[in-house]
């Protein structure tokens, strides 16, 4: 028997023992055992090509294997799954005294790419805002009621797009937030942290148009909320606003599945960054405690930097000539 065949047999013996343990002690299902078998067989094959035994793998061997997976174009999630199988296998070998060390101890798993946030284009947001100004509530007979609901919806939309508030912050705005000079909103966010968010001219006008209609609608009723409701919370609910937004997206001839309060928050951040805003400033306006949360938008910055180089760098102009 050749050395390579002996290596394969020894490796498979250890893999079989590991799978037997998974079945007997952890009650692993057949599909789970098959998945571990495939992943470890692939790793063992990689090592055998280097004339090495899977049970004797070193840290560099595991790193080289992960690098080979990346070179093959396999996803980070696939690499992470295979690394998990290798970790558990070597943990078993260590526990059973077959090895005195664990080659996976110093290895970090492949970073899975965070999904890019769903967002809307400037044109799509403009379509939503235009539709809000034309919306009609067919259930309301009185024009005053329709005017109030239309002004409230326009105000909600303009404030959300101007500030990037979380939907809970938007619907729970106190009436006092609309007082003062109107240039900023004071928001109490997660953990009771306060932040100042500037208002656009369009948002200030929307508030100014909405407030008199709010007073006329409520009469003598006193409510501390900017967007009051007869419900238990006393203000418009997140669920109700999401429903209004879905209806509005249909009126604007947009895919309702792509439109939500959160996609408008993402649109606010993306559009600011695309037009030159600083990432730290956007972090503060969004109310993110950590800049790493705001960095999901760096794809926007990458695109802006590429456009900047292509437009202004002399070599880029020379190449395009």
pLDDT tens track, the chain, 321 positions: 444 444 456 678 889 999 999 888 878 888 889 999 999 999 999 998 888 888 889 999 999 999 899 888 888 888 888 998 999 999 999 888 888 888 888 787 666 555 556 788 899 999 999 999 987 765 666 888 889 999 999 999 999 999 989 899 999 999 988 876 678 888 887 777 788 888 999 999 999 999 999 988 887 678 999 999 988 889 999 999 999 999 999 999 999 888 999 889 888 888 888 777 777 887 878 887 776 667 667 655 555 444 444 454 454 444 444
CB contact at 8 A, 243 and 99: no
Would you state the pLDDT for residue 118?
75
- 272: number of CA atoms within 13 Å, CB side? 24
Total Cβ atoms within 10 A of residue 260: 18
Q: Point out the residues that are catalytic.
A: 166, 190, 262, 265, 288, 297
Would you state the pLDDT for residue 239?
92
């Amino acid at each position: 028997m050749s050395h390579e065949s002996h290596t394969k047999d020894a490796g498979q013996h250890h893999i079989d023992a590991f799978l037997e343990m998974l079945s007997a002690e952890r009650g692993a299902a057949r599909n789970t055992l098959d998945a571990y078998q495939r992943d470890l067989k692939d790793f063992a094959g990689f090592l055998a090509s280097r004339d090495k035994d899977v049970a004797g793998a070193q840290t560099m061997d595991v790193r080289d294997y992960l690098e080979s997976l990346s070179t093959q174009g396999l996803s980070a999630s696939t690499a992470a799954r295979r690394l998990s199988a290798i970790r558990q296998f070597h943990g078993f070998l260590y526990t059973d005294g077959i090895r005195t060390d664990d080659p996976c101890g110093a290895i970090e798993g492949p970073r899975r790419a965070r999904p890019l946030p769903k967002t809307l284009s400037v044109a799509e947001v403009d379509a939503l805002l235009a539709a809000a100004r034309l919306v009609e509530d067919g259930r309301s007979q009185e024009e005053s009621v329709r005017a109030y609901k239309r002004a409230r919806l326009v105000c909600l939309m303009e404030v959300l797009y101007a500030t990037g508030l979380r939907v809970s912050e938007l619907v729970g705005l106190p009436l006092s937030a609309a007082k003062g000079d109107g240039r900023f909103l004071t928001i109490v966010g997660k953990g009771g942290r306060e932040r100042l968010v500037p208002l656009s001219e369009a948002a200030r006008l929307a508030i100014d148009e909405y407030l008199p209609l709010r007073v006329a609608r409520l009469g003598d009723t006193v409510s501390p909320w900017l967007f009051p409701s007869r419900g238990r919370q006393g203000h418009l609910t997140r669920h109700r606003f999401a429903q209004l937004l879905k209806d509005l997206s249909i009126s604007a001839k947009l895919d309702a599945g792509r439109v939500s309060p959160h996609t408008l928050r993402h649109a606010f951040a993306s559009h600011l960054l695309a037009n030159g805003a600083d990432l730290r400033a956007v972090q503060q306006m969004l109310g993110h405690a950590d800049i790493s949360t705001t960095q999901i938008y760096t794809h926007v910055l990458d695109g802006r930097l590429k456009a900047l180089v292509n437009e202004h760098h002399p070599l880029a102009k020379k190449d395009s000539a």
